[in-house]
Structure 1
Amino acid sequence: MPPVSLVRAASLDGTVPYAYAAVTAPGSLVFTAGACPLDEAGDVVAVGDVAGQAAVVMANLEVALAAAGAGLDDVAKSTVYVASSRREDLVAAWDVVRAAFGDHDAPSTLLGVAALGFPDQLVEVEAVAALPPA
């Protein structure tokens, strides 16, 4: 196995110019790209709806983690980006992200940013996870 193995999730949009996750040798850590609120066609969904986009982002993050052999309970650290300077928007996104993680309250950073990569994108979440023992 090479030092870094890039993971592509077949059920997520294949037109994005990056891998959805990476596993490091000997395969214990998974680094995800920022999960975006994209549907299977690569279109941003829930335009204007922070909570709606956060829900899709978390579903897409779960798919990317699963493709690498991990799940939300394996996440060691996450970063939540919200394209807003309004605290209410940050809290709306965080409430959805936190609910998706359930009792697994791994460290996380919540940031308001000026813009994200796709038009109309309001939320993005990236994560580092540890693969469960084989």
Structure 2
Amino acid sequence: MSKRLINPEELYDGAAFGMSQATVETELGLVFVSGQVDWNHQYETTEDSIGGQARKALDNLKIALTAAGSSVEQLLQVRVYIRGEVGEHLETLAPILSGFLGDSRPSVTGIGVASLASPSLLIEVEAVASVRQVVG
């Protein structure tokens, strides 16, 4: 196995947590993106609503994918962790996710959780993508 660590300057430094923002398995051509949240460089949220935090987490996901040599179009799997009941937030989140994912249409799983990395976080998004161009 050969891996490349991805830690874009635009995202918070995960070293204190022993993590990288993403890891590329170079032989298989896969990128594994750590859960992206609405955190700035001081580990603080910038949005109070689930919609605002979702947009910020997805922006951060795109930054990590780009730094890894991938893109939204190359997403294979997305997991969305939501504080509380997923169904209570679908009306807000479905259009945001659909707009972000576009025609990519990866597998998506929504998971309701009791807590995330900090009490102010409402949503976290992790993903697996290809770093090779998808054909046909």
2:78 matched to which residue of 1? 78
1:44 matched to which residue of 2? 45
Look up the equivalent residue of 2:13 and give its one-letter code. Answer: G
Find the aligned partners of 2:39 and 2:103 in 1 and give their Cα distance. Answer: 26
2:95 matched to which residue of 1? 95
2:5 matched to which residue of 1? 6
* Alignment size in residue pairs: 131
Find the aligned partners of 1:66 and 1:27 in 2 and give their Cα distance. Answer: 18
- Is 1:120 aligned with 2:117? no
CA deviation after TM superposition for structure 1 residue 84, in Å? 1.2
Q: TM-score, normalised by structure 1?
A: 0.88
Which blocks of at least 5 consecutive residues in structure 1 are unaligned?
Answer: none
Find the aligned partners of 1:3 and 1:71 in 2 and give their Cα distance. Answer: 21
Find the aligned partners of 2:86 and 2:104 in 1 and give their Cα distance. Answer: 26
**CA RMSD, Structure 1 to Structure 2 (Å):** 1.7
- Is 1:29 aligned with 2:15? no
Find the aligned partners of 1:84 and 1:9 in 2 and give their Cα distance. Answer: 30
Secondary structure of the residue that 1:118 maps to in structure 2?
Answer: coil
Find the aligned partners of 2:22 and 2:91 in 1 and give their Cα distance. Answer: 26
CA deviation after TM superposition for structure 1 residue 46, in Å? 1.2
CA deviation after TM superposition for structure 1 residue 69, in Å? 0.7
Look up the equivalent residue of 1:98 and give its one-letter code. Answer: S
Look up the equivalent residue of 1:94 and give its one-letter code. Answer: A
CA deviation after TM superposition for structure 1 residue 103, in Å? 1.5
Q: Which shows bigger deviation, 4-13 or 37-46?
A: 37-46
Secondary structure of the residue that 1:33 maps to in structure 2?
Answer: strand
Secondary structure of the residue that 2:110 maps to in structure 1?
Answer: strand
1:73–1:104 contact (8 Å) kept in structure 2:
yes
CA deviation after TM superposition for structure 1 residue 42, in Å? 2.5
Q: TM-score, normalised by structure 2?
A: 0.87
Secondary structure of the residue that 2:63 maps to in structure 1?
Answer: helix
Identity %: 28
